[in-house]
Copies of this chain bind each other. A is one copy, B any other.
């Protein structure tokens, strides 16, 4: 294994041309890796990260060369300068870059690199006792490997390189099986459920890479409806007919799933929705409205941390506070504050089935959720603008959507109740405004909302409490 690694990774880039031997070594290495157990894989990844990265002394020498080529002062740059610049750039290319370039040229090689990054990331997350005695220094090497692979894979999977394909009941079963496995947002209950999600009134689209034709990278499920859906249970349980499809006016994106753990933090969905909108518009009776029915994954934890920080009380909407106050007696232990009361009701089982509790919580939670969805964190270094706290909101806002409507009990599954108190949200894609919304969000951190959301927001943001 070490010999094969040396064969592929230690050769200078100028020699990469037509080197079939290195190709063979890279292929054998990929085969050997698959046969390894957890410890063997950890050893391999640690070796790759720590011994086939960059060479500090080579970088140092290249820096010396760069400095002597720039010492002449501020005149125009000459060939000598650019040669030194290229040498410096080249010295910063880690040895493992060559392995990835070789693997990319092989059938299945691209998928192998994706899976390798998945393993690097799981090794980084593993507790020390399970990571085969990784020391802190190797951990830093592995983190650098992960980041480098991120940049390599970002380039391989750039949007121009991806094909949009419609997934239907005529798609090979091996691909359909993967769609079923990868659907984690609203799990499928076997083949009949899948068939329904590909039947009349439904659509499914996926991005594929030509070098990984059997692997859907990210896919979106669409429901064609008469109006904007407010509950995921309605979408999933409805069995639409062709007549329903013909009467539809609205396309609802109700599930988006990325499939490859090795492509974490690489934007694949970026243009997916825009491409799917265009594909739908090309159909004979195309929908007029486009929106999502989306989860709000960070809402419950934002509530909990706001409460823990003592900030929840001041954010309660006036009507909600009144409703909560009248509910106090239903709790076993008397709450010390309205915030306590809210959290205690939310923690009680089946609260949403009690009309009194549900009404009080609705008056409280809708405004709080509107506030959460339009909350931003400060821009990170190098970013031009703030971005939404909620990751799904951030995704759709960056794509040019607006916050359209918050749906009370839009997802009453245990998971939906847990992560967002049962709330769901529609983000609306209006082709006319996509570019403008995207620009304002990306550059000014401005979040566009519907008039209805603006109304709800006015009850909390200008609240005298």
- Interface on A for B, CB 8 Å cutoff? 11-12, 14-15, 17-21, 24, 54, 56, 59-60, 63, 66-67, 70, 75-79, 81-82, 85-86, 88-89, 92, 101, 104-106, 109-110, 135-138, 140-141, 143-144, 147, 155, 158-161, 163, 210-211, 267, 270-271, 380-384, 398-400, 434-435, 438-439, 442-443
Interchain residue pairs with CB less than 8 A apart (8): A15-B382, A15-B442, A17-B398, A18-B267, A76-B138, A82-B144, A110-B160, A155-B155
- For A79, what are the chain B residues with a Cβ–Cβ distance below 8 Å? 140, 143-144
Check if A77 sits within 8 Å of B137, measured CB to CB. yes
- Are B77 and A161 closer than 8 Å at their CB atoms? no
Q: Is the CB of B104 within 8 A of A14?
A: no
**Contact across chains for A382 and B78 when beta carbons are under 8 A apart:** no
Closest chain B CB from A138 CB (angstroms): 8
Contact of A400 among B20, B63, B434, B442 (CB under 8 A): B20
Nearest-neighbour CB distance to chain B for A79, whole angstroms, equals 5
The residue in chain B whose Cβ has the minimal distance to the Cβ of A138 is B76
Contact indicator B82/A382 (Cβ below 8 Å): no
B-side contacts of A66, CB under 8 Å: 59, 63
Q: Which residues of B contact A105 (CB under 8 A)?
A: 158-160, 271
Q: How far is the CA of A56 from the CA of B159 in the complex (A)?
A: 31
Contact A54 B21, CB 8 Å, known A140-B79, A160-B110, A383-B14? no
B residues within 8 A CB of A14?
A: 380-383
In the complex, the chain B residue whose C-beta lies closest to that of A14 is B382
Contact at A143–B271, with CB atoms within 8 Å?
no
> Does more than half of chain A's interface fall in helix, strand or loop, or is it mixed?
helix
Find out whether the CB atom of A77 lies under 8 angstroms from the CB atom of B21: no
Given contacts A63-B66, A82-B147, A155-B155, contact A18 B398 (CB under 8 A): yes
Select one of B63, B92, B106, B271 contacting A160, CB under 8 A.
B106
Q: How far is the CA of A299 from the CA of B400 in the complex (A)?
A: 61
Chain B residues near A19 (CB, 8 Å)? 438, 442
CB distance from A161 to the nearest CB of B (A): 7
Give the residues in chain B near A442, CB-CB below 8 Å. 15, 17-21
Q: Note all chain B residues with C-beta closer than 8 A to A78.
A: 136-137, 140
**Cβ–Cβ < 8 Å partners of A104 in chain B:** 158, 160-161
* Closest B residue by C-beta to A76: B137
Determine the chain B residues whose CB is within 8 A of the CB of A155 once the complex forms. 155
Residues of B within 8 A of A24 (CB): 435
Find out whether the CB atom of A438 lies under 8 angstroms from the CB atom of B20: yes
Most chain-B Cβ atoms within 10 A of its Cβ — which of A18, A143, A435?
Answer: A18
Quote the shortest CB–CB distance from A95 to chain B (angstroms). Answer: 14
In the complex, the chain B residue whose C-beta lies closest to that of A70 is: B56
List 9 additional contacts besides A20-B400, A77-B137; criterion CB under 8 Å: A15-B384, A18-B270, A20-B434, A24-B435, A56-B70, A77-B144, A86-B147, A88-B92, A210-B210
Tell me, rounded to whole Å, the shortest Cβ–Cβ distance linking A22 to chain B.
9
| Whole-angstrom distance between the Cβ of A49 and the nearest chain B Cβ | 10
Residues of B within 8 A of A110 (CB): 160
Docked pose: A160 CA to B270 CA in angstroms: 24
Centre residue among A85, A163, A211, A384 by max chain B CB count within 10 A: A85
Q: How far is the CA of A147 from the CA of B155 in the complex (A)?
A: 19
A397 → B minimal CB distance (Å)? 9
Contacts of A381 in B (CB 8 A): 14
CB distance from A84 to the nearest CB of B (A): 10
Given contacts A18-B438, A18-B442, A140-B76, contact A160 B89 (CB under 8 A): no
Contacts of A109 in B (CB 8 A): 160
How many Å lie between the Cα of A197 and that of B275 in the bound state? 40
The 8 residue pairs across chains A and B that have the minimum distance between CB atoms? A76-B137, A82-B144, A14-B382, A18-B398, A105-B160, A89-B92, A20-B438, A104-B160
Contact A210 B270, beta carbon cutoff 8 Å:
no
CB contacts (< 8 Å) of A143 on chain B: these are 79, 82
Residues of B within 8 A of A380 (CB): 14
Shortest distance from the beta carbon of A6 to any chain B beta carbon, whole Å: 14
Q: A17-B270, A270-B18 are in contact. Are A77 and B159 (CB under 8 A)?
A: no
Query: How many whole Å from A257's CB to the nearest CB in chain B?
Result: 19
